[in-house]
Amino acid sequence: MEETRESQEMLGRLIQPEIEEMIQARDYRNLRRAVAGWAPTELADLIRSLPEGEDVIFFRLLPRESATRVFEYLDSDRQQDLLESIAKNKTRLADLLNEMSPDDRTALLEELPAPVTQRLLGLLSPSERRVADTLLGYPEDSIGRLMTPDYVAVLPEWTLHQALDHIRRFGRDSETLNVIYVVDRDFHLIDDIRMRELILTDPDSKIADLIDRRFLSLQATDPQEDAIRVFKNSDRTALPVTDSSGALLGIVTIDDVLEVAEEEATEDIQMMGGSEALDDPYMSTPVVTLMQKRVRWLIVLFVGQMLTITAMAHYEELLAQAVVLALFLPLIIASGGNSGSQTAALIVRAMAVGEVRLRDWSRVFKREIITGLCLGLILGAIGMFRVFLWERLFESYGEHWFRIGLTVGATLVGVVMLGTIFGAMLPFIMRRLGADPATSSTPFVATLVDVAGVFLYFTVAAWLLSGTLL
């Protein structure tokens, strides 16, 4: 039975009703038999697709070893549901936790409320407890949290034969066997050796003959984004992690890093849209939480945007004399917001992937001034043309049509430039202040530009139209 992605999905769809039936009929014996031999990923897919309640029953029927693997494949929400349901059976809970791989367990424990984490830690065996405590000791979002101590290390004085024996004995739990690590007696990392070299070399030679003391490693306290960058620029699937003295603490595998990269991108996109980052997938976030994540920024922006009322009130008299000016207001401030939104997105992402750093701000500034000027001139010209054309066609704007067109055009140049400059600089300011550059969201930039745009528009208008319309 082949398991290509499609056939796997089909499998789930075809068999699921029967499974649900067996669960409802409490036909546990047949159920157990039906899924015997399924792969953990398949079982996890099935659990995800089962209605609430039934997933728990199904999970509890799984044989112990398979249950642990399946558990690791589920997301933290579902994991917590299952944990709660089996909380009464302490032995079962302890088994499950002790058998999880340390990095997956860390990810689960850090998602849980602190008291629950403490209780669960108490269920671990002394040695697993020590591992969990160590991993949880690293700051959130640090590489330490992604580590697993399941790797194979060898000593330089061993022969390859000895090393392979060691791997046969201790490699069963290792997360990767592509690479093994060479350490000295103090556990300082001195090299990594690819498995292929071990296999392809004479078994009687020594590890010391293979090493060149050249290796890539990560530091446990460094941020996880660093790991993304290092993995992207190397062709490793696992990297060793050391403390500041160079002692080997564990390894990080690229599949965990892929997950981190996807989560960071999700957070950035959500923040760029102007809400706080969600902790869970969109669909499993309750509407109430969704609202909480969005309302704070909406209110902040709303209150900021109120400055436009004050600004406009300042020019109310001018407006009353020339109502025609109001017609162009939405167009003008939107143009500033649009160009600012473009720039902010480009810069925030360039910062996130490590391409633009704080010190690059002046280069970015120069590039964006030029871009903003050109874009502004193009939109300004189109805007002015629109005024002239409508005047020509419909005589829309009275005797001062030319000055009105000029006001619209000149303001557009300014407002688009303001947009690009705010959009380009706000991410730098945010990072400088220690905040995430993605905080400089599209709506944030747009709000700034709106307020500035209103002032600019009426200042230009007052100047260009004084003595005529005003």
> Which residues on adjacent β-strands are paired with residue 193?
180
Query: Is residue 226 near a second copy by the rule CB under 8 A?
Result: yes
Give the distance, in angstroms, between the CA of residue 343 and the centroid of all CA atoms in the same chain: 20
Q: Where are the alpha helices (DSSP H) in 395-441?
A: 401-432
SS3 for 440? Answer: coil
Buried b (16+ CB within 10 A) or exposed e, 49-71: ebeeeebbebbeebeeebbbbbb
Nearest distance in Å: CB 179, a second copy: 10
Query: Is residue 443 near a second copy by the rule CB under 8 A?
Result: yes
- 82-141 residues in contact with a second copy (CB under 8 A) are none
Nearest distance in Å: CB 407, a second copy: 14
Query: Per-residue contact track with a second copy, 33 to 72, x per CB under 8 A?
Result: ----x-x-x--x----------------------------
Taking the alpha carbons of 243, 245, 248, 254 in that order, is the dihedral positive or negative? positive
Pair of tokens at residue 456:
């600019």
- 20-39 residues in contact with a second copy (CB under 8 A) are 37, 39
Give Rg (Cα) of the chain.
31
Q: Is the CB of 250 or the CB of 337 nearer to a second copy? A: 337
Which of 23, 131, 261, 417 binds a second copy (CB under 8 A)? It is 261
Which of 10, 299, 358, 435 binds a second copy (CB under 8 A)? It is 299
Query: Is residue 440 near a second copy by the rule CB under 8 A?
Result: no
Phi, psi for residue 396 in degrees, rounded to 5: -75, -30
- 206-225 residues in contact with a second copy (CB under 8 A) are 212-219, 222
Query: Is residue 378 near a second copy by the rule CB under 8 A?
Result: yes
Q: Check residue 148 and give left, alpha or beta (phi > 0: left; psi -120 to 50: alpha).
A: beta
Q: Among 213, 209, 184, 187, which Cα is nearest to 198's?
A: 209
Nearest distance in Å: CB 25, a second copy: 28
Which of 85, 134, 162, 396 binds a second copy (CB under 8 A)? It is 396
Which of 68, 106, 174, 224 binds a second copy (CB under 8 A)? It is 174
Q: Which helix (DSSP H) or strand (DSSP E) does residue 337 occupy?
A: helix 329-352
Which of 10, 25, 87, 309 binds a second copy (CB under 8 A)? It is 309
Query: Per-residue contact track with a second copy, 329 to 368, x per CB under 8 A?
Result: xxx-xxx-xxx-xxxxxxxxxx--x-xx---x--x---x-
Q: How far apart are CA 413 and CA 317, in angstroms?
A: 25
